[in-house]
Amino acid sequence: MRYGLSVFLVSAVAATTFFAGCGEEKAAKEFVPLVKTITVGKEASATENVYDGFVCGRYETKMAFQVGGKIIKRNVEAGSAVKVGDILLTIDPKDVIEQSRQNDALVTAAAAKLKLAESNFNRYTELYNEQAIAAAVLEQYKTAYEAALADYQNALAAKSLSANALNYTNLTADADGIIGEINVEEGQVVAAGQNVLTLVRTDESEAEINVPENKLPDATPGKEVKVKFWALPEEIRGVIREVYPVADSASKTYKARISLLNPSPAIRLGMTATVTIPIESAPVVNLPLSALYQTGDDAEVWIVTDENTVRTKKITVCEFNDNFVSVDGLQPGEIVVTAGIHKLRENQKVRVKGETK
């Protein structure tokens, strides 16, 4: 009996030792999942946006004749350099000259009528002073004199306008510049005020770029930028002067004008320019949609730590695009889990298989 009890105790101890060893072995071989990841690269920390543009003049004048007529001479071509006072286009002055002559005749006739009316008014004033006529008669001659005086003044004004119109038959440059566009040819009849050409002033040059709507917060007027030219070695400073308030109907981008500070004399209108605008917003990273983890109101991703454990990190979603999502709030070098995120838990050990993004 005593021998049987001893055998039982030895067996129980052996069984206990065996099962304890199995538990330790199971704990030692706990499953560590393999996760697919993306490492946020240096490009995500870019601090500037770069745009292609071109050099243009700040002031572009749409020029027109102040009188209508037939164009008989064109002295410029598109791209011609002009100086102040240069005659650009000339219209036929014949009609204007005839109108001027007609107004000269009207002035002469009005002057004769005024002289007669004045003479009558003076004569009847003397008769009224001698009490030879009634006051009503004198009033009639006074009214006739005042009407004749008004007609004469109107005739003089018309003559002055005709003289000005004769000068308007020559369209002259009001500033140094370059002819950007010509819309008429010799022999064409134009109306007063019709746009015939564009004069681009060369005294102040700018760079023009197109900014996408999602980059507008970084392209604010007054912000200093860097401008480089494909044909020139130097880089100059610029300032965003204005951003158009309405997007282009075709490209859906916003036109921005950059004032050039201390521009080189070698800069020419139409040159290719590259404008670099520093950005102040958080860097944006494109991630697969499968990396996005959300259990409440905040979007999160799983980050792999240096100890090969995972933790969640809050991010901001900027834009959804097909199978990708643009987010900010991540830093270069951070490892983001992109698959199997719903099976993870905080501080869980993982094995990493990844790529750089």
pLDDT at residue number 29: 57
pLDDT band at 85 (very low <50, low <70, confident <90, very high): very high
Using alpha carbons, select from 201, 198, 193 the residue that is nearest to residue 64: 193
Residue 329: per-residue pLDDT: 81
Give yes or no for a contact between 340 and 36, defined as CB atoms under 8 angstroms apart: yes
- The 3-state DSSP class for residue 243 equals strand
Element (H, E) at 190: strand 189-190
What does the alpha-carbon distance between residue 338 and residue 37 come to, in Å, rounded to a whole number? 5
Measure CA 21 to chain center: 74
Q: How confident is the model at residue 279 (pLDDT cuts 50, 70, 90)?
A: confident
| Whether the predicted pLDDT of 153 surpasses 60 | yes
pLDDT at 45 over 80: no
Tokens representing 35 are: 């996760």
Q: For residue 8, is pLDDT > 70?
A: no
Give the DSSP H/E element, type plus range, for residue 338.
none
Distance, CA of 313 to CA of 316 (rounded, Å): 10
Provide the pLDDT for residue 2: 45
Q: What is the mean pLDDT of residues 302-315?
A: 91
More confident residue, 8 or 285: 285
Residue 46: which pLDDT band, with cuts at 50, 70 and 90? low
Query: How many CB atoms sit inside 10 A of residue 35's CB?
Result: 24
Q: With 80 as the cut, is the pLDDT of residue 26 above it?
A: no
- Residue 99 and residue 92: Cα distance in Å, rounded? 13
Q: Which amino acid is at 265?
A: P
Task: Concatenate the DSSP letters of all residues of 264-286 into one string.
Answer: -TT--TT-EEEEEEE--SPPEEE
Q: Which residues contact 346 (CB under 8 A, 6 or more apart)?
A: 310, 311, 312
The DSSP secondary-structure symbol of 282 reads P
Consecutive H or E run containing 57: strand 48-57
What whole-number distance in Å separates Cα of residue 178 and Cα of residue 76? 10
Query: What are the beta bridge partners of residue 34?
Result: 351
In this structure, are residues 49 and 277 in contact, taking their beta carbons and an 8 Å threshold? yes
H/E stretch holding 254 reads strand 253-260
For 109-127, what is the mean pLDDT? Answer: 92
Across all residues in the chain, what is the average pLDDT? Answer: 84
Contact 112, 106 (CB under 8 A): no
Report CA torsion sign: 285, 289, 291, 293.
positive
Give the pLDDT mean for 79-83. 90
- Whether 79 and 179 have beta carbons less than 8 Å apart is answered as yes
Strand partners, 206: 56, 259
H/E run at residue 119? helix 94-129
The whole-angstrom separation of Cα 282 and Cα 332 is 12
Classify the C-alpha dihedral 274-276-282-285 as positive or negative: positive
Our CA angle for 321, 322, 327, nearest 5°, is 35
Whole-angstrom Cα distance, residue 79 to residue 269? 10
Give yes or no for a contact between 273 and 54, defined as CB atoms under 8 angstroms apart: yes
Q: What percent of the chain has pLDDT over 90?
A: 43
Which is nearest to 292 in space by CA: 261, 316, 256, 273? 316
